[in-house]
């Protein structure tokens, strides 16, 4: 319901000079305690709306080191080209409850994010620099990395690892040109807001870094993600649609995905997801391509989803409609239904598996294939049940 144009970096209200230097993702051991959190936060707290706090290099110094920051309404944080904003490795600075961050507990979610927004409108994070979550660096006081902790949690429980960005009820938020890398957990989580733009964002994270989703908008509307390049270890984009909703009016256009778990909707869909357009997307070497996932414990109606002008290459699961995600079983009462799903001008190169599964005869998968092409149909395996597929054009 809005017209989106390329963002513009606001004028500066304050310019902060780097006092540390970084090589790779490392600063000198003696500098690990020299946090810039207080001076960055003070600058944002005193900045006028419509202005920016700019982090700039100074001679050989090119890094800032921070714990959690709180964004302010109408204020943009700009990480200038050549600058890296590094996350502290100290789990204590992220604690929501004392001593929890950096441990495994039953529920997880025990860490504040590196950058936090709560009910602030018109804020943003921009610039040609890098924000580094340092997920592959050792947690201070432990002999494991954040990602090691996530792997350890596979044995039971949930890891408490900070995200780079958690944005709750932040209307008209903008990410522009920034590079995000190596988050210990999700890179960007945007929840319950109206108006989110990610334009020209780069996300870089290893394939094997667990739970490192790139950009996850949930229970949000008027979302645009465009001109982005994403390599990550989990969902490249995951649109969350849990209660209370709505999750609607989203455009994902002109993007390039590489390693990751693909263009996903779910697994929470019980709040409903609708009116989502994915256009001009390349997916190259991911585990999944176009994926909608849910199960009987968190399912709901997903409708009016259009994928058009998409090229998928060397991807294990090019199309993955999964109504029993994580084998959630048949004992839940929140049943998933995916209908009005359109694939138009979708080209698949290489082998892989198509999973086209509705939940049951009353909750069928409803899809239209319109000019869906397969470069090598002999290498494609199809698994399907409880579906109604229309075919305007489908060819090898």
Active site residues: 234, 261
The per-residue pLDDT for range 364-384, each reduced to its tens digit, is 999 999 999 999 999 999 999
Q: Is the pLDDT of residue 111 over 80?
A: yes
Query: Both tokens of residue 216?
Result: 């996850």
Strand 188-191: give its sheet, edge to edge: 69-70, 115-118, 165-168, 188-191, 215-218, 237-239, 263-265, 288-293, 317-322, 352-357, 380-385
Task: Identify the pLDDT of residue 188.
Answer: 98
Task: State the residue for tokens 């198509």.
Answer: 354
Tell me which residue has tokens 């849910």. 294
pLDDT given for residue 244 in this prediction: 82
pLDDT-derived band at 132, boundaries 50, 70, 90: very high
The DSSP-derived string for 153-217 is GGGSSEE----SEEEES-TTEEEES-EEE--SS-SEEEES-EEEEEES-EEE--TT-TT--SEEE
Least confident of 10-14, 177-181, 243-247, 295-299: 243-247
pLDDT at 395: 59
pLDDT of residue 393: 61
Q: Per-residue confidence at 316, pLDDT binned at 50, 70, 90?
A: very high
| Confidence (pLDDT) at 349 | 97
What's the chain's average pLDDT? 96
Q: What is the DSSP string of 297-353?
A: TT--EEEEEEEEEEEEES-SEEEEEESSGGG--S--S---EEEEEEEEEEEEES-EE
At 368 the pLDDT is 96
Give the percent of the chain with pLDDT over 90. 93
Alpha carbon of 169 to those of 136, 196, 225: distances in Å? 30, 10, 18
Residue 396 has pLDDT above 60, yes or no: no
How far apart CA 187 and CA 183 sit, in angstroms, is: 5
Beta strands at 337-349 and 273-284: parallel, antiparallel or unpaired: unpaired
Does 394 score more than 80 pLDDT? no
For residues 273 and 247, the answer to whether their CB atoms sit within 8 Å is yes
Question: How many percent of the chain have pLDDT more than 70?
Answer: 99
Signed CA dihedral, 254, 260, 261, 267: sign only: negative
**Residue range 135-158: mean pLDDT, rounded:** 97
DSSP annotation of 33 reads: T
Task: Inform me whether the pLDDT recorded for 344 exceeds 60.
Answer: yes
Mean pLDDT confidence for 184-211: 98
pTM metric for this prediction? 0.96
Location of structure tokens 């040109």: 177
What pLDDT sits at residue 245?
Answer: 80
Question: Which whole number is the average pLDDT over 153-160?
Answer: 97
pLDDT tens per residue, range 201-246:
999 999 999 999 999 999 999 999 999 999 999 999 999 999 988 8
Kindly tell me if the per-residue pLDDT of 23 is higher than 90.
Answer: no
At which residue do the structure tokens 């778990």 appear? Answer: 261
- Mean pLDDT, to the nearest integer, of 263-284? 97
CA–CA distance, 100 with 153 (Å, rounded to integer): 14
């Amino acid at each position: 319901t809005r017209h989106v144009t390329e963002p513009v970096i606001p004028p500066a209200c304050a310019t902060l000079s780097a006092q540390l230097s970084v090589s790779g993702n490392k600063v000198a051991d003696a500098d690990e305690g020299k946090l810039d959190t207080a001076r960055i936060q003070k600058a944002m707290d005193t900045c006028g709306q419509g202005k920016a706090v700019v982090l700039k290099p100074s001679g050989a110094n090119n890094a800032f080191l921070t714990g959690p920051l709180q964004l302010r309404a109408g204020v943009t944080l700009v990480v200038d080209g050549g600058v890296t904003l590094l996350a502290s490795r100290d789990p204590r600075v992220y604690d929501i409850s004392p001593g929890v961050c950096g441990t495994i507990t039953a529920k997880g979610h025990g860490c504040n994010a590196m950058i936090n927004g709560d009910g602030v409108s018109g804020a943003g994070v921009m610039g040609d620099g890098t924000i580094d979550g340092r997920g592959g660096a050792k947690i201070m006081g432990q002999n494991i990395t954040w990602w090691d902790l996530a792997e350890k949690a596979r044995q039971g429980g949930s890891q408490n690892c900070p995200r780079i960005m958690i944005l709750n009820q932040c209307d008209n938020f903008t990410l522009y040109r920034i590079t995000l890398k190596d988050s210990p957990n999700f890179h960007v989580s945007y929840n319950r807001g109206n108006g989110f733009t990610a334009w020209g964002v780069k996300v870089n994270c290893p394939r094997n870094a667990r739970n490192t989703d790139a950009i996850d908008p949930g229970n949000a509307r008027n979302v645009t993600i465009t001109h982005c390049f994403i390599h990550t270890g989990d969902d490249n984009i995951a649109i969350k649609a849990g209660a209370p909703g709505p999750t609607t009016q989203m455009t994902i256009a002109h993007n390039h995905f590489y390693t990751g778990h693909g263009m996903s909707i779910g697994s929470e869909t019980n709040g409903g997801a609708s009116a989502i357009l994915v256009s001009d997307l390349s997916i190259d070497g991911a585990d999944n391509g176009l994926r909608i996932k849910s199960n009987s414990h968190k399912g709901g109606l997903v409708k009016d989803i259009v994928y058009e002008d998409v090229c998928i290459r060397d991807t294990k699961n090019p199309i993955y409609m999964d109504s029993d995600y994580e084998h959630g079983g048949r004992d839940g009462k929140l049943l998933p239904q995916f209908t009005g799903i359109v694939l138009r001008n979708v080209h698949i190169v290489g082998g892989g598996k198509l999973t086209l599964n509705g939940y049951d005869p009353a909750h069928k998968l409803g899809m239209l294939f319109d000019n869906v092409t397969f470069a090598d149909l002999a290498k494609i395996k199809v698994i399907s049940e409880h579906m109604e597929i229309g075919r305007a054009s489908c060819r090898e």
